[in-house]
Amino acid sequence: MKLILAALSLSLVNYSTRPTCPTSSLLGGRDRCLAKLQGDLLRTKYGIGIVTKRATGSNALVNQNQDTSYYGSLAIGTPPKTFDVILDTGSADLWVASSSCVTGCGNVPTFNPASSSTFKNQSTPFAITYGSGAASGSLGKDVVQMAGFSLSNQVFDQRLLAHDPGLWTIGTWVADYCCFWGHPLLADPSFWGSWTSPLMSFVLTRFGNSSSQASAEPGGVFTMGYVNSSLYSGNIEYTSLTGSGSYWLIPLTSITVNGNSALSGSQTAAIDTGTTLIGGPSAGIAAIFAQIPGSVAGTGQYAGYYLYPCDSQVNVTMSFGGGQAWSISPADFKLQSVSSSQCLGSFFDITSSGSDAPQWIVGDTFLKNVLSVYRFNPAAVGFAALSPAAGALASGAVPTATLTGATGSSTASSSATYSTVDHGPLRDTGRATGFGST
């Protein structure tokens, strides 16, 4: 982990060119001028009341395959080429398919280094194994743009083999840390330092309980540099990060099921927009379903999950940092029906390894129910109640890709329709592929 330090600088004032007042004035005008001048000089010296114009941006999202994943768009290279990318707070990497890709890259846009005048080959190979697949390729650097913001010399992965076919990923980890020795784009102060506020937010739509949904639907919105106040009500409740500072990791302090406690003590939770469901330790998942009569542990392709009676109304809440209890809709708790009487729950068992591994991974099953905020400085995750305007984001046309200025928006293409569950390094949470709706 690198520590990013802000340097203070002293500025010299050229008093020979400072503004002056006229030597004579009627009715005390000179005195008023001097008083105003002194006030202005003091405000300038200490930066009081000075408004610095900064920038914000937004990226309209696409909801893919009944809430399986949410993607936006960015552009790479000169001239820029747009790519659909899953905006993943549980990952640190930006990767797209290379034009030389030989496996798992069919029917998706690819990046051709020869077509970009600003591309720099890093000549560094990589290989990685996820819970739901594997990939390998090489690293490169180029200009990356999103919603009018750009960053030169951004490291990204060109995938030559992708055994988990699907959309490409941009990581949004909190820290200056990356699996492939690059800087996560959205965590780079060179990128978010130009924002009006050092934070980003998500509102995610719900189509998982719809019987007439398309493979691509309006997915909500991702904002940079601000939080759209029309999309939430009340206050944003922030919880400071814990742990090493790589994941968006906060303390999970309460889970209730139909009003009964199902969590003992405080445990760590990674807030992960790139994960569809909610994963937790064996004991914690068992405690949740122990509160639902008729629940049984899954076997075979459902191993690690629990089945429960479909006619049960399950109301779950989660609290973080000892704060407010946030409700999860019963529609989100039910992943799918597996028979006329049994349904599959969206909480499942993960086995964490290593001292830094989160005990819980909180994905879109929860995040669809709140506006979530990810603040870089001071580092924290925030939640707020959704407003009626947030619900309206599920209406209208599916967004298409555009590149605009920093105060405009970049919206996502709907060309890719692959079914993927999880794309970042928290890969043990992506086992729903194979029985999820398509």
Instruction: Provide the annotated active-site residues.
Output: 88, 272
Q: In whole angstroms, give the CA distance from residue 343 to residue 168.
A: 31
Among 227, 205, 224, 195, residue whose Cα is nearest residue 382? 227
Helices (H) and strands (E) in the chain, counts: 6, 25
Between the CA of residue 243 and those of 49, 237, 359, 429, what are the distances in Å?
A: 36, 19, 12, 20
Backbone phi and psi for residue 307, each to the nearest 5 degrees, phi listed first:
-105, 145
In terms of DSSP bridges, do strands 133-146 and 216-224 run parallel, antiparallel, or are they unpaired? unpaired
End-to-end CA distance of the chain: 39
Q: In whole angstroms, give the CA distance from residue 184 to residue 29.
A: 56
Q: Which residue has the tokens 């130009």?
A: 194
Alpha helices in 336-394 (DSSP H): 364-367, 388-391
SS3 17: helix
Element (H, E) at 38: helix 29-46
Backbone phi and psi for residue 171, each to the nearest 5 degrees, phi listed first:
-80, 150
Count Cα atoms within 13 angstroms, Cβ side, for 49.
6
Q: In whole angstroms, give the CA distance from residue 415 to residue 109.
A: 9
Alpha helices in 268-393 (DSSP H): 282-290, 330-333, 364-367, 388-391
Q: In whole angstroms, give the CA distance from residue 325 to residue 319.
A: 5
Q: In whole angstroms, give the CA distance from residue 157 to residue 180.
A: 8
